Structure 1
């Protein structure tokens, strides 16, 4: 609403009048000091103190001299904004206003406004030449569109007078419209979210993610949630694939930090970002952070004979290769073999140009073990690592030999040779285990032993070796006398033989009388004598048969024996020649021997 004021109360005559001398010699308008200026002040309305007018005018000018006056208009209220403040000038006789310009006080608190000259220019462009329009233009020169609380705006008035005496103008506050301005500060929280992750980490070590959230705005955030959907291959310690942090509130400029511990289940590069979820579907995302997970990947191969004869040196070679992209620190090699076998020789650990093939999975070939803590390995007996690995009872009867391979660099291979010997006919099973310990340094976490295993079976072969001997008890043999043949079968080999059987064939000059031995004769008719087979002949043992015969003729006779067994692919034979003579010949031969 507009407020009308009484013109008589608002008249300012004394503060805007100047004294004029008789003549003017130069323009002194810009050279006057503050002492040469006269100041006047008017406040209205009297009690409310909404508007104050303050004028500055020179105390004295010359006739015809153009000089400046300043009219300062101030809104003295704290909360009332004034609009359409209009002043109305009333000039005295012989006093002429040359120009009016609305300026802004540099120390005012309000907003910048267009100068009165701009209003005049705009009005002049739209004005007609009639007197009514010109009056409106002159009137608009004294208008202040708005005046904020505490703001001051200044009219710069240029004037002149062509007569001496007290000259000046009267200013009326014609009208103004007070307005109560209500202000509410609108603020907004502004989140900054940062996720930090290590650039590289070992597969069996903990990965720590750090999250920093800052409220860079000028208002509290209230409750919100930070989530991180983890990359495939990254899990929390409880096995989840997402991290969630609840934030109760963040004050302006407050920073909150969260730390999460996760593990990688495989090697590779893993990236994810954190997302803060505020109310109203508003989200703030961090930049993606990436971690390259590396690991030492051991492959081991145990090479040796598939079969070998008993008591023969068994030569083995173990190779270990690191196929991973990380160092395998303090790598150990352990070989387990049966107690019955003896370690005859070991070589030195040395580098190998030959690499173990990666991811071999055949039986008796290297198989990478699962990661287990030492505690778990002890409890499970490592049975879960490889179905072919020795069980607890087998390990108890094994001899263990260990070598230090040192640190294996990525792509590096090392080998060692050793020799065993076994005096047992058996399947000799060897186990080679390459391992290194991986865990958090200087932490309370349980260390993890990473192992790779290779198994090899060597068949120890033991064979029987039968020796057949045949001898007669007397030679020559007198007609009608008895002669006994002794048959001996000895197993000189390392293994027992089975189904050992003897068959004898008598010459025509002999007849069967009797026999003895480990088995009975099953057939004694004619010239052939067959004995029952002996089921087993152990290594080093021997069998002895005796066959008694009677001579029935003269001449050279051959006693023939055939030996068969399970180990023999064809019969072995032996013969014993015997001379058969008459009694007369025997005596003659004996007499000759005595004479000689």
Structure 2
């Protein structure tokens, strides 16, 4: 619209509202009424389509002399609302009267145009209306709707992840205001916890978000430490519009500890039982747990329990467990025979998904030594005084090593008299057998004779010794003698022998 202004002052008010998508010019004009010799001024006001709260905006007032004669002493008077600040203007205002700013344009030649530039900053969301008047009564009023963009950040994060898993966070950045917002940047950070990667430390440009729309941003990093993971996500733009969202993820981790038990000392060629225990002191299930046992050369597996398997090539044992829950343990066992002397070190290990391997060991000392067991029996339950009694002596090497230079002595009490027989020597009250070589597992049978000289219950003492034993083995046999002339006398002196309990070995003394 154009307004042709006469010298008389006739104010003209023009009100316009700016749509969110297109700017527009407001123009006021009035056709001349007094002929063509009168100067004619055309006043145009240009403003942005929308102004964000607190953001500077440029308004331009254009004055043009469309007449055929010069216009002199032109002054533009513009009234600015109280909720709008004037940051600067070109040219400077010559005076201010009740929010009305006066700008001296001066003389305008026919066809000449002059501009007045205003930088305005709204402090509320009320519309901006400018009343502009010239001394030629050409005036204009402009209006702009002040819009307020608002940001909102909504994160979606997993509640629980394991160490080594990805922490994937989806962020919805929304403009819930009524004005478009530009140059939005999302800045993530971690206030607690540790991750591997730059997903939570690098700013992400989001760009322009129209009113009522949203943008989705995805972040990802790998959890590397157990504990609480707190994320903070701030969306902002250069105009100072900000919003913050928070996320919380608990990072858990399974943990494995392993131990093994077995005999500390074991004879050669004997079976030993080993137990392997796996414990999870962590706060997550240790899935796909595998237990492995590497046997030394001196142990030979005889039986595997709890579903274990033996590798035919390596000889290692393995157990595949479904999983070990937090605070629980799993136990596997196997039996092995000692096949070599010396220290035998069993190595065990446990591993699971996303869990560091854990190892342990147990030492078994395998020794080889003789183990002699002696028994002595009297063939006759009782014998008359003067009769010969035959004693059977049995020595067994129940150990894993041969016993060399075994000396066997029999002490005969005074009530008995040793009888010289092939295979041993009688020296006074003792019977001496030649040195014996008894292999592991071998049984040696010897016999000797004695004659009863006195009525009663008498004991013979057998001593078995070898340098490798370190101490002798002693065992006793019983001889009961009676008198044919007075059998009752023997009964009065008889003693009840100490018999071993059924199923036990004879009593040995060292």
Q: Do both share a fold (TM > 0.5)?
A: no
**Rg (Cα) greater in structure:** 1
> Whose strand fraction is larger, Structure 1's or Structure 2's?
2
> Whose helix fraction is larger, Structure 1's or Structure 2's?
1
TM-score, normalising length: structure 1? 0.39
